[in-house]
Amino acid sequence: MATPTSQRIGIWIIAVVLTLGTLGSFLVMALSVQNQSSDKATIQKEYSQYQTAIAAQTKELSDKYYTTFNQYVYLPAAFTAADVTKLTTNDLKVGDGEVLTSTTAYNAYYIGWNPKGVVFDGSISNGALKAPLAGGNLIAGWNEGVVGMKIGGVRELSIPSDKAYGATGSGDNIPANTPIKFVVMVIQKVADVPIPAELLKYYQSQSNG
């Protein structure tokens, strides 16, 4: 039996609506992918620019301080753990800048070693200095040990385990209840390289996700 004209028109309308709906979905998906690709490209570009700025700052500081700090690369050596029962300091070079208090903002270069003389971390790599460490949120022995230094100075810190990593330790080279030593050079607080807006937004979305 032939389909009435009104029904045929209704079927066509439904077909058109379904087709447009499908095309609309594809369009939304395509735009979403395009936007994601654009966002990804922006983030990658900003990340590259950020890393370039960090590298430039790191090199500038290394060129300025490497010769001075490299003089102390010989210091790491074995020591008797039982002898380090309290925090002690030894100024190797007195700076000529601001005197550090417990609240002073500063940056630092360092070399740290354990009683066997094994270096577990440090700022020197391939004949240059890595990005300097920001002072403040560090182990108690470091935070207390640098107080009284002058910017530009170098100090050796002998830190008992209770002011270092205590009963927890830190990795293979700092077992539980191990005293450690550092040679530290403090420099003026350097300006933070600003994180680009889209990159910061991306980091925040990842941390919240």
Q: Closest Cα to residue 50, out of 168, 199, 206, 177? A: 199
Residues 6+ apart with CB under 8 A from 176: 161, 165, 166, 167, 168, 169
CA diameter of the chain? 105
User: 3-class SS at 197?
Assistant: helix
Q: Annotated catalytic sites, by residue?
A: 110, 120-121, 139, 165, 182
Q: Distances in Å between the alpha carbon of 37 and those of 23, 42, 49, 51, 195?
A: 21, 9, 18, 21, 21
Question: CB neighbours (10 Å) of residue 170?
Answer: 16
